[in-house]
Each structure stands twice: as C-alpha cells, then as structure tokens.
Structure 1
Amino acid sequence: MDTANTQDLRTRREAVVDAHIEAEAVSHDVKAALATFRKPRYEVPAVGLIADGADAVEGLLNQLLAAFPDFWLKKDTVHHGDDVVVIEARFGGTHRGVWAGIAATEKPMEVQSALIFVFDCADLICEKVYFDHATILRQLGSPA
C-alpha cells in the first residue's frame, strides 16, 4: 500500500476509534458504540471475558455503565499497526453498581490501560482491553 493510502486508512481507523470512545466513555451511548463495529467483539483478559456478538457486547457495556455510571476514558497515546490501532489510556469511574461480582462501594477507581482495536481493512472487528485488575480491586476496597 502506498503512503497516501496507508495514511488514509490510518485516518479512517482512528476516526472509528474516536467515535467508539466518544460513544462509550463520553455520551454513554451503547447503541452508538455497537455501531462502530462491523461485528462486535470485546476481549477483557483481566477478568477472563470474551463478549462475542452484538447481544454479548451490549450486555457487557450496559453492565459497565450500570456499575460505573460516570465512566470516563482519557486517551494518552495512539499507535498504528498493520491491522490495529493501540490506545494507551486511563479510565475510571465511581463504583455504583455490581461489577465483577463486587457490590457497589461508592469508591472511585482509575487505572492505566492499553486498548487494542483490531481492524479488517477499515472495519472494527474487536476491542481488546488490558488493565491491572488488582489495582481496581484495591481501589474498590476488595482484596486483590
């Protein structure tokens, strides 16, 4: 692929990622977040979760936003690869509902993360979310 086409693809992919982050972490619009995928899929190794398909991803995002209704994400650095956009970020929120089997604590959490957005050409097909689960558990007052 020539340089102009590569840059165009990177720009298109980054726009999809930005729309996804806006929907999920700013407007908390689950349907809009789902619409950024060609086929929705999340992988969250820290909690042993794979959500494959629209219903599973919708359920995951609804659970996340019910547990952390003020969920936010701050994008720090963007990296591009052959079929991925990797975002280094911090995310957080106030624990106001059940999350990972833990009842609401009303405590804030914030953790550094790496988000790997996997693409097929310009189509988002998976988001892999990496973070230190023990850090969140400590902040929520649960034994790590």
Structure 2
Amino acid sequence: MAILDRGALVAAREAVVREHMESENRHDFDATLGTFSHPRYEIIPTGDVFDGTEAVAAYFEESRRAFPDQRNELIDLHHADDATIAEFDLLGTHLGNFRGLPPTGRAFTCRTLAIFVFAPGSDRIVCERVYFDSASILRQLGIASDPLSLQGRLGVVIGHPLTIGRAVLRQVTGR
C-alpha cells in the first residue's frame, strides 16, 4: 500500500513492525509473513539469508524447534527514510537440536538490532536485517568460553599455537 504523507507512513510502518515482532512472539508465522511484501531475512552474524516464503518458513521451523520459547522484548524503535530500526532483547532456551548441536537446556538473552527495510512509499517489509553478538549467545549456552577467562585463554593457546607463538616472538624481539 502506498502512503504519501511521511507521518502516516512512519506510523503505518511502526504498526507493521510491532505486529511483525508480536506475531513472532505468538508464533503466528502466517501473520509474520503477512507483514512482508516479499519475505526475506538476512542474519548478519551467521551470514544466513532466507529469501522467499518457503525459506523464511523453514527458518522459523528450525529456530523454534531449537529455541521453542524464542521471543523478543522491544526496547525502542527508530525511523529512517526507508527503514524502521528495532532495538530489542532476544531471548530463548536451547531445548532442541540446532544445526547438529544437541540442546544445552540453557537460556540466553542478547541485545539485538533489526533493520526493517521498506520499499519507498510502502508499509510492507522487504527485508529484515538482524545484527547480534553470536559469541555472547554461545557463551550463555555453554558452547563457548569468555576469551578473557582462564578457560578461554587456554582454549586460544591450544587452538592457535602458531598465532600465539608468533605474537610472543614479536613481543620478545620487538618486531
């Protein structure tokens, strides 16, 4: 739907983004898909792109199988010419297999940013581009270690002996 008045367009887009996020929380994915003119998710930290109704539906199935209580808690919305930016906490509990990783039973909370891109003059989403710190989630799930902890530092030394050896050599020789 084309809306010409900027204030009305911002309000319409905000309503669409709110419905999009709330319908994800309800797991009403038909309603979520209805907020798009063409469904597309770009998950920046993983490099995953889900383009089209079937791919996005498969993404919903995969992510909610692994994290059945996955939800978002909206913090703030910001508006740009052709986008609405949502800042929120993403939460979930790892209760199912995820890409070969067995469930840990642990929960995570991660501050997340999503850019909801709109076609010019439209109130339908053309892409949701999501940014978050995947290392933070992996640490909370018990899959990764804090790199500043003793366990994390030992893991780096064991996993990257040449890199660490070169760094020590540079420090000792001053090169």
Decide: shared fold, TM above 0.5.
yes
Q: Which runs of 4+ in 1 moved over 3 A?
A: none
Q: Does 1:141 align with 2:142?
A: yes
Q: Distance in 2 between matches of 1:102 and 1:135?
A: 17
Please tell me whether the aligned partners of residues 92 and 111 of structure 1 are also in contact (alpha carbons under 8 angstroms).
yes
- 1:13 and 2:13 are equivalent in the alignment: yes
Task: Name the structure 1 match of 2:167.
Answer: none
Q: What's the counterpart of residue 124 of structure 2? A: 123
The within-5 A match list for 1:16-55 is 16-25=16-25, 27-55=26-54
Residues 47, 100 of structure 1: 8 Å contact kept: no
Q: Which residue of 1 aligns with 2:104?
A: 105
CA distance in structure 1 between the partners assigned to 2:64 and 2:13 by the alignment: 25
SS in 1 for 2:65: helix
Offset from partner CA, 1:21-62 (integer Å, 9 cap, x none):
11112x111221111111000000111100000000000011
Mapped contact 1:98–1:104 kept (Cα < 8 A): yes
Structure 2: which amino acid aligns with 1:137? Answer: L
* Corresponding residue SS for 1:78: strand
Q: Does the 8 Å CA contact 1:30/1:62 hold for their aligned counterparts?
A: no
Query: What SS does structure 1 have at the residue aligned with 2:110?
Result: strand
Q: Aligned partners of 2:7, 2:101: CA distance in 1, in Å?
A: 44
Please identify the structure whose Cα radius of gyration is greater.
2
Number of the residue aligned with 2:89: 90
More strand by share: 1
Cα 1:65–1:89 shift into 2, 3 Å: same
In the aligned structure 2, how far is the partner of 1:30 from the partner of 1:100? 21
The 1-side partners of 2:58 and 2:99 are apart by: 13
Separation in 2 of the partners of 1:6 and 1:139? 41
Q: Which residue of 2 aligns with 1:70?
A: 69
Deviation of 1:102 after TM superposition, in Å, equals 2.1
Deviation at 1:100, TM superposition (A): 4.5
Whole-angstrom CA distance in 2 between matches of 1:76 and 1:108: 19
C-alpha RMSD of the superposition: 1.3
Instruction: Determine if the alignment matches structure 1 residue 132 to structure 2 residue 133.
Output: yes
Percent of aligned pairs with the same residue? 40
Report if the CA contact (8 A) 1:119-1:126 is conserved. yes
Which structure 1 segments of 5+ residues have no match? Answer: none
- C-alpha separation in 2, matches of 1:65 and 1:128: 18
